[in-house]
A and B are shown apart, each in its own frame.
Chain A
Amino acid sequence: MATVAEQWVLVEMVQALYEAPAYHLILEGILILWIIRLLFSKTYKLQERSDLTVKEKEELIEEWQPEPLVPPVSKDHPALNYNIVSGPPSHNIVVNGKECINFASFNFLGLLDNPRLKAAALASLKKYGVGTCGPRGFYGTFDVHLDLEDRLAKFMKTEEAIIYSYGFATIASAIPAYSKRGDIVFVDKAACFAIQKGLQASRSDIKLFNHNDMDDLQRLLKEQEIEDQKNPRKARVTRRFIVVEGLYMNTGTICPLPELVKLKYRYKARIFLEESLSFGVLGEHGRGVTEHFGIDVRKKEEECAGFLVGSVEHLEKHQM
């Protein structure tokens, strides 16, 4: 044993470690680990736990009251006391028992009670019955459908046509079929409800221009062009569409098609022309607004209420 301060020699310390009794070492080890744990443990949380107990959940479920499924409608709402028509909606119409001249139905060519049409419908009723009992893909395609599509394509001087069973649904499903998320659609502000629903379903970027205002449309297209130059890679995959109606249902005006076609080629957008009202009405033979202006139909895709005409490429995808 040294009388002066003991020197801390490593070798001796290690020797001491080996010679120490086991319980001593274990106790020391536990104490060291406890100190480390205390140093690193978090402080006490004073706020309550944020999970709800089961009882609270049940109370919440009991208390919640939803709104009624439909809000009450007043008894004098015009839609509830609508006019009941008895008899065919031809030029003289019987409304609520009174006979009136019909300025309200869409019967431009007066074909709704044409005897030739009725005879043809009767013949088809006799042969095919009333319903098709299936979609087009599953034995719902009749030879008359194919015939009608051929005739429509020939009449409109395009390559192919597809027919739909409901006018509203035509444009509302055609737009989302071609225009997807990320594509840009320029739409007239006075577009009809079916077009609006189609655009909503397609999730594309919508840019509205003032009704029949070609300068406004050109301004929007120019802005888009400037955007494109900033990001050419994205521009190469974004499709551009212009959706207009031949004869607008909301305002009754005709769209300026020649200027639109010029804009189309300049800014490389595709035109969707919705002709539910102008088909059969405008143009020398009733081919619609394209014949009215003397434009070659092949220069754009065309949509009408109930059928789609266009080039083969576009319709192939649609059929699937």
Chain B
Amino acid sequence: MVDPGGGAVCNGTLHNQSDHCHRKNCTRNGMVKEAQQNGNSNFYKPVVESFEEAPLHVMVFTYLGYGIGTLFGYLRDFLRNWGIEKCNAAIEREEQKDFVPLYQSFENFYTRNLYMRIRDNWNRPICSAPGALFDVMERVSDDYNWTFRFTGRIIKDVINMGSYNFLGLAAKYDESMKTVKDALETYGLGVGSTRHEMGTLDKHKELEDLVAKFLNVEAAMVFGMGFATNSMNIPALVGKGCLILSDELNHASLVLGARLSGATIRIFKHNNMQSLEKLLRDAVIYGQPRTRRAWKKILILVEGIYSMEGSIVRLPQIVALKKKYKAYLYVDEAHSIGSLGPTGRGVMEFFAMDPRDIDVFMGTFTKSFGASGGYIAGRKDLVDYLRAHSHSAAYATSMSPPIAEQIIRAMKLIMGLDGTTQGLQRVQQLAENTRYFRQRLSEMGFIIYGNEESPVVPLLLYMPAKVAAFARHLLKRKIGVVVVGFPATPLAEARARFCVSAAHTREMLDAVLEALDEMGDLLHVKYSRNRKSARPELYDETSFELED
């Protein structure tokens, strides 16, 4: 009897094939053994994603905290208005006093009164490459975060848990970056022109062929900026009379692209297949609102890994739905390319699916490849159409040559075309680090969101004051973390978001985990109800009968 998890049961004991090659580089013909097994892929594995809710008292205190902050905000605004307190915000110039004010004072209420208090946790300047360790410039504020000044000291060797450096390719110059240096010297700094004019270099052509080969699709096209890739190409694909079904938690670039296209947008609940199916059925059966004409096309917009939740899209179910209702699928793999899948090919390989099932692959090079820019890949007719009609190709400058060279180098490394297995090792190291980090954090009792295989780990903190204390204390211990609050997340769910990287060694992760353990006890953020028992000596007990 074989169960789909890849193990075989023989005489009552489970032999799991994955255990043997867990830590070693078990490759055959260059491909990891795991990728060759049909039954061991994530297609069949049940999805383990958790979005645990916090205990009630935590939510009450969170809202209470915001309420008190708001009251004090009103008080301070009152004092500032009447001149009792000095107003540190910038004011309009004299000649323009009677112009309509640029911001309504209410729009800025949150910024002025709540965000300003903890503003020192964001926009922290660094002065080295954003690798696994980096240097943060120290800055202090004399007037409660309204202005900052640099003390001149640099905090060296801070462990970087915030940058999107999944494969550890963002590092200082070393000999392997020689090709980038050559490209810089040969081609110069930029291309002063758009793709349709003089902006297509032979480097771009080389890069596009390589991307197509990497993703196992027919063709690809690259653009200069990741955000702009979405916002300028979705309008080229859909227009008025089409329907866009987009996930609740899609990134701002997808939302902007959808809005600019002029199509009707409907939102389905995050990763919820029943909600999506209901919307699809209603769309196909009832057509456009009011006129009841049929929709021209239906496009489903999803992301590979959602950056604030750490959840992975349910790709097999979405592809099944898309085939049944004849819709088109657009997957934004900004975070998942290079970091998911046995060889780093992204969410498609993670679920071992056919690349022909997904219509539009989109991704960015900023996160795993250590460069900048975006790509769109898919069938040849799609890419040809985008070459001709994309707004970016016609109006925006193309990618600059040294960056293209960096991406070529990074991709060759991951694919193994440079003759080493370093790329594959990095991908496997990332997967190991992710599993270890997530497992230890949930053992400690923190509430962690997201899929257990995703390298983006959000740790929930809920209360705004704890968010600030968390980030500041950890910086003192030389660990740099990213905390996110409203408006990027819902009001009551502020969190700290860790990005595990292949460049993190086990020692670094242990140091971080130890610090987090202490922080958790200090700030009382270990809210999870799934903590391990406080009596570890009872783990191996087989029966709880009293011995007589």
The interface residues of chain B lying within 8 Å CB-to-CB of A78 are 196
Check if B160 is an interface residue, CB within 8 A of chain A: yes
From A67, A121, A165, contact of B189 by CB (8 A): A121
Binary contact track B171-188/A, C-beta < 8 Å → 1, others 0: 111000100110011111
Stretch at the interface among B118-126, B210-218, B348-356, B424-432: B118-126
B196 in contact with A139 (CB, 8 Å): no
When each residue 115-137 of chain A gets 1 if its CB lies under 8 Å from chain B and 0 otherwise, what string results?
00110011001111111111011
Contact: B91 with A64, CB < 8 Å? no
User: Do B260 and A201 have beta carbons less than 8 Å apart?
Assistant: yes
Q: Which of B136, B232, B296, B371 contacts A66 (CB 8 A)?
A: B296
Q: Which of A67, A85, A133 contacts B130 (CB 8 A)?
A: A133
Contacting residues, chain A, for B474 (C-beta < 8 A)? none
B103 within 8 A of A: yes
A215 part of interface (Cβ distance < 8 Å): no
* A79, A80, A143: the one within 8 Å of B137 (CB): A143
CA distance A177 to B38 in the complex (A): 50
Residues on B with C-beta less than 8 A from A239 are 100-102
Say yes or no: is B197 at the interface (Cβ < 8 Å to chain A): yes
Does B538 sit at the interface, judged by CB under 8 A? no
Contacts of B103 in A (CB 8 A): 317
Contact for B359 among A69, A82, A117, A128, CB less than 8 A: A69
A139→B135 CA distance, assembly (Å) = 10
Chain A residues near B362: list those with CB within 8 A. none
Q: Which of A1-9, A28-36, A166-174, A217-225 contacts B (4 or more CB under 8 A)?
A: A166-174
B440 at the interface (CB under 8 A from A): no
CA distance A317 to B90 in the complex (A): 10
Closest to B191 in A: A89
Whether B126 lies near A166 (C-beta < 8 A) is: no
Q: Are A166 and B129 in contact (CB under 8 A)?
A: no
Q: How far is the CA of A298 from the CA of B402 in the complex (A)?
A: 37
B193 at the interface (CB under 8 A from A): yes
Taking the complex as formed, is B64 at the interface, i.e. its CB lies under 8 A from any CB of chain A? no
Instruction: State in angstroms the CA–CA spacing of A145 and B127 once bound together.
Output: 10
Complex interface residues of chain A between 49 and 82 (CB less than 8 A to chain B): 52, 57, 60-61, 64-67, 69-73, 77-80, 82
Contact between chains at B98 and A268 (CB < 8 Å)? yes
- B17 interfacial by beta-carbon distance below 8 Å: no
**A89-B482 in contact (CB<8A):** no
A127 contacts B128, C-beta separation under 8 Å: yes
Query: A238 near B: Cβ within 8 Å?
Result: yes
Docked pose: A313 CA to B112 CA in angstroms: 12
Most-contacted residue by chain B among A61, A65, A136, A235 (CB, 10 A): A61
Q: Contact check: which of B173, B298, B359 meets A126 at CB < 8 Å?
A: B173
Indicate if A142 sits at the interface (CB-CB under 8 A).
yes
Q: From the candidates B100, B111, B184, B227, name the one contacting A238 in the complex (CB within 8 A).
A: B100
C-alpha spacing A233/B352, complex, angstroms: 61
Contact indicator A106/B192 (Cβ below 8 Å):
yes
**Which residues, 204 to 244 on B, are CB-close (under 8 Å) to A?**
205, 224-225, 227-228, 231-232, 237
**Contact: B124 with A90, CB < 8 Å?**
no
Contact present for A105 and B191 (CB under 8 Å): yes
Q: Beyond A139-B134, A168-B396, A169-B227, is A69–B328 a contact (Cβ under 8 Å)?
A: yes
Task: State in angstroms the CA–CA spacing of A193 and B396 once bound together.
Answer: 9
B202 — nearest CB in chain A belongs to which residue?
A: A86
A289: B residues at CB distance < 8 A = none
Contact B124 A61 (CB under 8 A): no
Within 8 A of A (CB), among B77-96: 89-93, 95
Q: Does A293 contact B (CB under 8 A)?
A: no
Contacts of A106 in B (CB 8 A): 192-193, 397
Q: Give the top 5 A-B pairs by smallest Cβ distance, nearest first.
A: A313-B90, A105-B192, A70-B385, A166-B225, A106-B192
- The 5 listed contacts between A and B (C-beta, < 8 Å) are A70-B382, A84-B202, A138-B122, A239-B101, A313-B92
Q: Hey, which bits of chain B sit against chain A, CB under 8 A?
A: 89-93, 95, 98-104, 108, 111, 115, 122-131, 134, 136-137, 160, 162-165, 170-173, 177, 180-181, 184-193, 195-202, 205, 224-225, 227-228, 231-232, 237, 256, 259-260, 281, 284-285, 294-298, 324-328, 359-360, 365-367, 369-372, 381-382, 384-389, 391-397, 402-403, 406, 480, 482
